[in-house]
Structure formats: C-alpha cells, structure tokens
Structure 1
Amino acid sequence: MSGPISVQLYTVRQALADDRDGTLRRVAEAGYRAVEPYDPLNDPKGFRAVADDLGLSVSGTHAGAVLQREPAEVFEAVATLGTDKVIVPAGIAPEEFTTRDGIARAADLLNDLAVQAARHGMRIGYHNHWWELEPEVDGRHAIEVLADLLAPEVFLEIDTYWAAVGGADVPALLGRLADRVIALHVKDGPVVKGEPHTAVGAGAMPVPEILAAAPDARRVVELDECATDVFAALAESHTYLTSLEGH
C-alpha cells in the first residue's frame, strides 16, 4: 500500500458544510492520517492549515473543476493543498464510453489536461463510476480501452464498488490494468445501485481479494451514502483495512 489509508471527504460532505474543522478532527480521531478532498477551490489555504494541525496529509484531490474552470487556477489550489494528484471524478458524458470514438475523445481530453498539469509538476488521474464498466467495446470494459489510449503519466483511481456494480470481476480487472492504477476507492455494500453503502468489510465486496490484486495502490475509503452513523462506519472501515494490512 502506498501511504496511509485515506478517506474521500465526499463521505462527510454534509458535516463538512456545517463544521469543516470539527469534521476533519473527527476523521483524524477515526484513525485516518490522509484525506482526499473533492473541492480544491474551497479555501485551500484554510483547509491545509487545519489538516496540517491534525496530522492529515492530502493523498490527492478530486477536481471536477478542472473541466469547467481555467486549469491553471485549479492546479494552483491543488498545490496549496499539498498534493500533486489531480483526479477527474466525472464530467465526461457517459455516452462517450459506449463507442471507441467516444473513448478516444475522452482519452484526448485527459491527455491534454495531463500536459497542462505537468507544467505545474502535477499528474492527472481518472476515477470511474459504473458507466465506464457497463459498456463493452471489442469485448472489453470501456475503461480498459480508455487505459490503452491514455498517456503513460495519466493514472487511474479505480472505484472498486462501482466497477463491481458495472459488472466487472474487480480483482481480474485490477490485474489487467496493473500499474496504471495507483489508488483504489474502497467501499462496501450490497453492490446494488441506489442502495446505501456499509462500513468496509460489512458488505458483499470481496475486499481482501481486491486489495491483493493491487497491493501498491493507495486505499481511499468512500461511502457515497450510509444508512448508519457515517463516522462510526469510517472508524470501522479503518479498523478492518488496518487488520488486513497486518496480514
């Protein structure tokens, strides 16, 4: 595993909106030593100061704004947060992943952003949902075709749960994508669209097999929706993943 277990802060988005500093403190108290923000333009200096005080590093950041704003503005904010990993979490039309031409356009977009990011000492990554897995092009999941067309410096952050929802054998997929994957969104639940997630280890995902298939990838916990107390679920997830790393 590359670095401490992180948490995608979208998991606690409502709490963050109400009390950012207190929420980050609770994340740290749950055992996390790294976080993955989702809005780098929202007071990056203030966020960095609080994170530093709590001993929280920034493992990377989702930055959908890079598709909507001047990229240089986004890269400057990301640098303030203290990471060089800029992850596109969505924003490319799902229909683009249904044809080879559409996938090629998606790859061109990400490759162009990667060139711009490199000027700022940064790397571009892409995070999937189910719509990059459900379509098959030439007998392969669309995201595999995308990976073939990406420049070497563009990385993937595979959301393991949405990959499973999209129909993938996730450990096998990770094996095929290999070194392209430098981070995993680790989440658990019933593997059904629209159903809330659970603490990692409490659902239907084959978490140990998934982690074994990408041993060097950063683990980033995310619960899009949670039917139980989200902070308790985050703490349970951290405890479970830490126990697996110990074996």
Structure 2
Amino acid sequence: MTRPISVQLYTVRQALADGRDAVLRRIAESGYRAVEPFDPTTDPKGFRQVVDDLGLSVSSTHASALLRMEPAEVFDAAATLGTDLVIVPAGIAQEEFTTRDGLARAADLLNGLAEQAAGHGMRIGYHNHWWELEPRVDGRHALEALADLLAPEVFLQIDTYWAAVGGADVPALLGRLGERVLTLHVKDGPVVKGEPHTAVGQGIMPVPAILAAAPGAWRVVELDECAGDVFAALADSHAYLTSLESS
C-alpha cells in the first residue's frame, strides 16, 4: 500500500470543537499523512491551508451534507479540500436495506448523486454501518444486493468493523465486492454494538486478513468511541498498520 494511512476526523470530533488546527497538528505528529473530514463545507479554504502547511493530504471526505444542501456546493467544497472522493455516510433510512424495493430507491439516490458528481470531476461513495449487512436480501447481505444496483462509478467505503458487527465475514465480503471497494474504514474492538473501540491491532478484528483482501483500498482509521486517550489510540493504530505494511 503506497498511499498514506488516513484518519477519519469524526474520531476526534470532541477535540475539534476546541480547536481544529491543534488537532490536525497532533494527528500529523502521530505519523499520519492524510485525513478524511466529515463535513467538507466548514471553512474548506482554511482547512486546506492548514493541511497543506502540515504536509497532510485529504484522502476523501464524508458528506452527509449532500442530502440536505445543494450538491454543487458540497462538490465545490470537496474540490477545495483537494479530493475527488465524496462519501455518503448516513441519511438513507435503515428500513430501505430490508427489501429489494428499498434497495432500488437507495441505488437511485446514489446513482443520481453520482451523475451530478461526475459533472464536477467527483465520484460518489457509500459508507456502511451494521444495518446494511445484517439484513439478507435474496440470500445475500443487503449491501451486496445494493452494489449490483449501483452505477459502475459509485464506489463503496467498507467500514470493516460495522460489517463484522452486521455478521459479515469481512475478508470474504471484500473479496466478493472486489474493485467496487476504494477505501476501508479500519477499526478494532470487541465487535459488540455499544462497546467502545480500541486501537487497531488491540481488538479481535482480523486486520491482516482484511487488508490482504483489499490490497488497493485506501486505509482510513476511525474510532467511533474510545475508552482511553483517543490520540494515543490513533498513534498506536498508525504504528500497528505501518508495521504490517513493512513486514
């Protein structure tokens, strides 16, 4: 994997409320060379200036704002940040992933956004939680059935932890989805809903097998909740993933 390990900034959302620039500096000091924002529309010019100064790149961005704002504004913000990968992380009702009709509606939404994104030189992705994996549609995880309905340019960001919580064999899932997966959320913990996450490498997720199943996907570390110091956990995660890449 040649691209730098990224970190989803939702991990440090509480610290960000007290000062963005200091948080980004701490992330860079932990060894990260890329970040994934969760709201591209908040001061994109200022954000870009800080990450450039710190030697960071923007791997991709989450953008739930796509479902509540004019998409063109979101795509312009993403361009300012320096990424062309814009990801819908939530906002589609969980019930839509329980029937074929619901999946068709979800696919129509994502495919429509992808058409608009293409006009801005962008690609649309979808980020899963547990509820896209737990339901079965035609004998498969709902997310897999959804993938069949998506336009070729729509990619998936597989949250490996939530896929496991939803009952998936994650390496096998990644193998079936293949090149549809452009990025991974790499996280670790007890694989139990409601329990805090650990640094990557300190839980029960089969991280080496997961990474081997999607060798070309961009790795993005995320800890939704962390029992200890989140910056220490991020540093430990980066060290562990770097050790795997060098082994």
| Correspondence for 1:50 | 50
* 1:246 positional shift: 1.1
Question: What amino acid sits opposite 1:159 in the alignment?
Answer: D
Name the structure 1 match of 2:155: 155
Corresponding letter in the other structure for 1:198? T
Aligned to 1:177: 177
CA distance in 2 between partners of 1:161 and 1:24 (Å): 24
Q: Displacement of 1:2 after TM fit?
A: 5.5
Mapped to 2, the partners of 1:126 and 1:67 lie a distance apart of 13
Distance 1:138 1:73 in 2: 38
Partner deviation per Cα, 1:57-76 (whole Å, 9 max, x = no partner): 00000000001110001111
Letter in 2 for 1:54: L
Matches within 5 A, 1:124-203: 124-203=124-203
User: Which ranges of 4 or more aligned residues in structure 1 deviate by more than 3 Å?
Assistant: none
Q: Distance in 2 between matches of 1:40 and 1:219?
A: 19
1:8-44 residue CA offsets vs partner (Å, 9 max, x unmatched)? 0000001111010000000000100000000111100
Task: Note closer, same or farther for the CA distance 1:212–1:136 as it changes in structure 2 (3 Å cut).
Answer: same
Match of 2:49, SS state, is helix
Equivalence for 2:231: 231
Q: CA RMSD in A?
A: 0.6
Q: Does 1:107 align with 2:99?
A: no
Seq. identity, %: 83
The answer to whether the Cα contact below 8 Å between 1:33 and 1:57 also exists between their aligned partners in 2 is: yes
Q: Are the counterparts in 2 of residues 2 and 218 from structure 1 also a CA contact under 8 Å?
A: no
3-state secondary structure, aligned to 1:18: coil
Amino acid paired to 2:58: V
CA contact (8 A) 1:158 1:183 kept: yes
1:152-184 alpha-carbon deviations (Å, 9 max, x no partner) = 000000000000000000000000000000100
SS at match of 2:72: helix
TM-score (ref. length: structure 1): 0.99
Partner of 2:10: 10
Distance 1:106 1:136 in 2: 16
Once the 2 structures are TM-superposed, how far is the Cα of residue 236 of structure 1 from its aligned partner?
0.3
Shift of 1:3: 1.3
CA contact (8 A) 1:6 1:221 kept: yes
Distance in 2 (alpha carbons) for counterparts of 1:217 and 1:135: 25
Task: Name the residue aligned to 2:93.
Answer: 93
Structure 1: give runs of 5+ residues left out of the alignment. none
Helix, strand or coil at the partner of 1:202: coil
User: Per-residue displacement from partner, 1:61-113 (whole Å, max 9, x unpaired)?
Assistant: 00000011100011111111010000000100000000001001100100000
